[in-house]
Amino acid sequence: MNIISYNVNGIRSAMSKGFLLWLEKLSPDVVCIQETKAQEDQIPALDFKTIGYDCYSFSAKKKGYSGVAIITKLTPKKVTYGMGIKEYDDEGRMIRCDFDDVSVVSVYHPSGTSGQERQDFKMKWLKDFQSYAINIQKEIPNIIFCGDYNICHQAIDIHDPKGNANHSGFLPQERQWIGDFIDSGFIDSFRFLNPNKKDSYSWWSYRFNSRSKNKGWRIDYCMVSKMMKDRIISADILSDVYHSDHCPISLTIK
What is the pLDDT averaged over residues 130-152?
Answer: 97
- The yes-or-no answer on residue 108 being catalytic is yes
What is the pLDDT averaged over residues 122-133?
Answer: 98
- Could you read off the pLDDT of 221-236 as tens digits, one per residue? 999 999 999 999 999 9
- The yes-or-no answer on residue 206 being catalytic is no
Looking at the chain, the whole-number percentage of residues with pLDDT higher than 90 is 100
What is the rounded distance in angstroms from the CA atom of residue 153 to the CA atom of residue 53? Answer: 33
Long-range contact set of residues 169-174: C-beta below 8 Å, sequence gap at least 24: 169/111, 169/112, 169/113, 169/217, 169/219, 170/217, 171/112, 173/123, 174/122, 174/123, 174/126
Task: State the sign of the Cα–Cα–Cα–Cα dihedral 184, 248, 252, 20.
Answer: positive
- pLDDT at residue number 118: 97
CA 58 vs CA 100, 117, 122, 125: distances in Å: 22, 24, 19, 18
- pLDDT at residue number 4: 98
Confidence category of residue 139, pLDDT binned at 50, 70, 90: very high
How many domains does the chain fold into? 1
- pLDDT at residue number 20: 98
| Residue of 88, 108, 132, 221 marked catalytic | 108
- pLDDT at residue number 126: 98
With 0-12 CB in 10 A as exposed, 13-18 as middle and 19+ as buried, what is 85?
A: middle
Cβ atoms of 186 and 177 within 8 Å: the answer is no
- Could you read off the pLDDT of 39-88 as tens digits, one per residue? 999 999 999 999 999 999 999 999 999 999 999 999 999 999 999 999 99
Domain harbouring 120, CATH code: 3.60.10.10
In terms of residue numbers, what domain contains 152?
2-253
| Residue of 6, 148, 201, 220 marked catalytic | 148
- Could you read off the pLDDT of 18-40 as tens digits, one per residue? 999 999 999 999 999 999 999 99
- Could you read off the pLDDT of 94-106 as tens digits, one per residue? 999 999 999 999 9
The rounded mean pLDDT for the chain is 98
- pLDDT at residue number 146: 98
